[in-house]
């Protein structure tokens, strides 16, 4: 069993690390303080290929694996967690258009999404539908060659500043469940769309988050992704990868926090010795590194299973997301503690790392829902034995 990365994979890591150093790390605190959405930098990420990492090459993307995407997102997140998290969302939306959009839709939007000329948001969560996504109420009613969409979506990243909305809406009856959901690519400036206020969040401040309302929004049937009733299936496929993406952002945050903590312990003097000379603090650093390494292996293993079409990939993605996002928050919080009072002030990045990683335990499915997904699989015959 070979855990080493190929030369090409290490080159991808290095390219992402270089971009993080050049474009993200020195700007992250300012973007956070001003709640600034760095569109121009995101466009430069498109020039580097980071807006269509696993979109097929035939559609203009890099066509990389989910494992390779994880490597890239981890490195980018060492520069700015919040901005990298938006990049993961845009990647998911672009991938969905590339895989299930019709020829006309792809021709009109894919080149712009891949390059960053157009940015995308993903609209699944609703004010009354979070973890129970299959109960969504936004509806799309067929009217000739169009659909008319009505309803609202909540906590939409990038909303109000993006150009395309990938929207999950009910085309079946009120009780049609997951089988009655379809997916649509809706221009963000379509008549009948309204945006709420930019939510004042604890973290993730470099990307806007708004409620999106649809009041009789008319969109051509050519903007439907796949067939009617396939939307929830697409959403779940997207979320498997999305969970790995956000887990990878947590890995990058934890790596940055561990590096900062290591450096601080070496520089800070107390009682005539550097903090790094105290065994209790050495143990703390060792535990942080151990948890990070374990989470990184879980994420890469889950990505490998997803890349290879493993039937249990969804459960592995859920396990990796749960563990990596819990770990990411814990390691950042421990690094803040090691900085003492300095960790609590904005001059140091630790308080921002803690704020930005906290939401990872909630989005892409809460970590409680991750446990539900894993437990349901474990209760099926033979699954527990297959983990060995």
CA distances for 113 relative to 8, 40, 275, 320, angstroms: 25, 14, 48, 28
pTM confidence score: 0.96
**Distance from C-alpha of 309 to C-alpha of 261, rounded to nearest angstrom:** 38
Cβ pair 254, 292 in contact under 8 A: yes
Distance CA 64, CA 274 (A): 44
pLDDT tens for the 388 residues of the chain, in order: 788 999 999 999 999 999 999 999 999 999 999 999 999 999 999 999 999 999 999 999 999 999 999 999 999 999 999 999 999 999 999 999 999 999 999 999 999 999 999 999 999 999 988 788 788 999 999 999 999 999 999 999 999 999 999 999 999 988 898 999 999 999 999 999 999 999 999 999 999 999 999 999 999 999 999 999 999 999 999 999 999 999 999 999 999 999 999 999 999 999 999 999 999 999 999 999 999 999 999 999 999 999 999 999 999 999 999 999 999 999 999 999 999 999 999 999 999 999 999 999 999 999 999 999 999 999 998 888 877 6
Ranges of beta strands (E only) in the chain are 120-123, 139-143, 146-157, 164-170, 181-187, 193-195, 209-220, 224-225, 269-270, 273-274
Q: Facing residues of 269 across strands?
A: 274
Residue 281's CB: how many other CB atoms inside 10 A? 17
Residue 351 is a catalytic residue: no
- What is the DSSP secondary structure assignment for residue 154, as one 8-state letter? E
Query: Of all helices (H) and strands (E), which one includes residue 112?
Result: helix 103-115
* Phi, psi for 62 (deg, rounded to 5): -80, -20
Q: Which of 23, 364, 368, 385 is catalytic?
A: 364
Cα-based distances in Å from 126 to 93, 173, 387: 18, 18, 35
Per the DSSP assignment, residues forming a β-bridge with 164 are 120, 187
Say how many C-beta atoms besides its own lie within 10 A of residue 375's C-beta: 11
3-state DSSP call for residue 240? helix
| pLDDT value of residue 384 | 86
Q: What is the CA radius of gyration of the chain?
A: 21
pLDDT in tens, 23-56: 999 999 999 999 999 999 999 999 999 999 999 9
Taking a C-beta distance cutoff of 8 angstroms, is the pair 119, 110 a contact? no
- Of 79, 91, 80, the C-alpha closest to 116 is 91
Of residues 221, 165, 172, 215, the one with CA closest to residue 189? 165
Distances (CA, A) of 215 to 181, 184, 219, 225, 261: 18, 15, 12, 21, 50
Number of residues that this document lists for the chain: 388
Question: Cα–Cα distance between 208 and 35 in angstroms, integer?
Answer: 8
pLDDT digits (tens, 9 = 90+) for 309-363: 999 999 999 999 999 999 999 999 999 999 999 999 999 999 999 999 999 999 9
Residues 6+ away with beta carbon under 8 Å from 163: 112, 118, 119, 120, 187, 188, 189
């Amino acid at each position: 069993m070979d855990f080493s990365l190929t030369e090409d994979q290490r080159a991808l890591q290095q390219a992402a690390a270089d971009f993080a150093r050049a474009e993200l790390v020195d700007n992250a605190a300012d973007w956070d303080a001003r709640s600034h959405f760095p569109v121009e930098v995101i466009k430069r990420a498109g020039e580097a290929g980071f807006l269509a990492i696993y979109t097929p090459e035939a559609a203009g993307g890099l066509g990389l694996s989910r494992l390779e995407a994880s490597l890239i997102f981890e490195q980018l997140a060492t520069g700015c967690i919040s901005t990298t998290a938006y990049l993961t969302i845009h990647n998911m939306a672009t991938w969905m258009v590339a895989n299930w959009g019709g020829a006309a839709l792809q021709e009109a939007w894919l080149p712009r999404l891949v390059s960053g000329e157009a940015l995308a948001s993903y609209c699944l969560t609703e004010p009354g539908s979070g973890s129970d996504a299959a109960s969504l109420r936004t509806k799309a009613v067929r009217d000739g060659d169009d659909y008319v969409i009505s309803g609202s979506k909540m906590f939409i990243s990038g909303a109000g500043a993006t150009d395309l909305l990938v929207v999950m809406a009910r085309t079946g009856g009120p009780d049609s469940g997951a089988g009655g959901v379809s997916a649509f690519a809706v221009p963000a400036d379509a008549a009948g769309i309204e945006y709420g206020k930019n939510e004042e969040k604890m973290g993730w401040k470099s990307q806007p988050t708004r409620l999106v309302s649809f009041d009789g929004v008319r969109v051509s049937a050519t903007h439907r992704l796949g067939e009617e009733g396939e939307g929830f299936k697409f959403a779940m496929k997207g979320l498997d990868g999305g969970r790995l993406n956000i887990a990878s952002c947590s890995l990058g945050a934890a790596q940055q926090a561990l590096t900062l903590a290591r450096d601080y312990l070496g520089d800070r003097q107390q009682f005539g010795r550097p903090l790094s000379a105290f065994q209790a603090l050495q143990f703390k650093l060792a535990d942080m590194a151990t948890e990070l390494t374990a989470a990184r292996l879980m994420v890469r293993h889950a990505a490998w299973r997803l890349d290879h079409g493993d039937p249990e990939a969804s459960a592995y993605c859920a396990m990796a997301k749960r563990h990596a996002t819990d770990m990411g928050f814990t390691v950042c919080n421990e690094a803040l503690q090691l900085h003492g009072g300095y960790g609590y002030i904005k001059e140091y990045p630790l308080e921002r790392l803690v704020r930005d990683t906290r939401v990872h335990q909630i989005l892409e499915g809460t970590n409680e829902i991750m446990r539900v997904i894993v437990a349901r699989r474990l209760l099926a015959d033979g699954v527990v034995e297959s983990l060995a």
